[in-house]
Amino acid sequence: MRKSDLKSRLSELAFNVTQNSATEPPFTGRFFNFFEHGTYSCVCCGSNLFKSCDKFKSSTGWASFHSAFNDECIEEVVDNSFGMHRIEVRCINCKAHLGHVFDDGPEPYNRRYCINSVALNFIKND
């Protein structure tokens, strides 16, 4: 997948988030307060990344999941940018930046995948 193809296909914000690790402003994304049943996939390559049943309401203003779609769809990378120690979350297939994962999610998972809505597509379940 070429970057020039992605640039023409994605919105400017989606391109900057997935390719340049930008962050969408909180409370603006399509999915931060969205709870329909379905599957979330990578906006760049279409890989399945998250399920609606693993999504939970958080006050952060970003889409929050306690688990990924499976153990093999997400890559976690240490991110020490901006003077913070965070774990970056990427699509393992195409390396698109999705967001970060924190350890303050709900029991018993204790994980909170904090994901930019523009990095995701939603496929509604029938």
Annotated catalytic residues are 114
- In the three-class reduction of DSSP (H, G, I as helix; E, B as strand; rest coil), residue 30 is classed as coil
Interface with Zn ion in residues 91-110 (CB under 5 A): 91, 93-94, 96
* Closest CB to Zn ion among residues 10, 114: 10
Min dist. Cβ of residue 10 to Zn ion (A):
12
Q: Per-residue contact track with Zn ion, 30 to 69, x per CB under 5 A? A: ------------x-xx-x----------------------
* Closest CB to Zn ion among residues 61, 95: 95
For residue 123, the Cα-to-chain-centroid distance in whole angstroms is 15
> Minimal CA–CA distance to 74: which of 55, 54, 53, 100?
100
Stretch that binds Zn ion, among 33-41, 57-65, 87-95, 105-113 (CB under 5 A): 87-95
CA distance 50 to 70: 8
Rg (CA), the chain: 14
User: Residue 100 forms beta bridges with which residues?
Assistant: 88, 114
Min dist. Cβ of residue 104 to Zn ion (A):
26
118 belongs to the binding site for Zn ion (CB under 5 A)? no
CA distance 79 to 73: 19
Instruction: Count the helices and strands in the chain (H runs, E runs).
Output: 2, 9
Binding residues for Zn ion, rule: CB under 5 A, are 42, 44-45, 47, 91, 93-94, 96
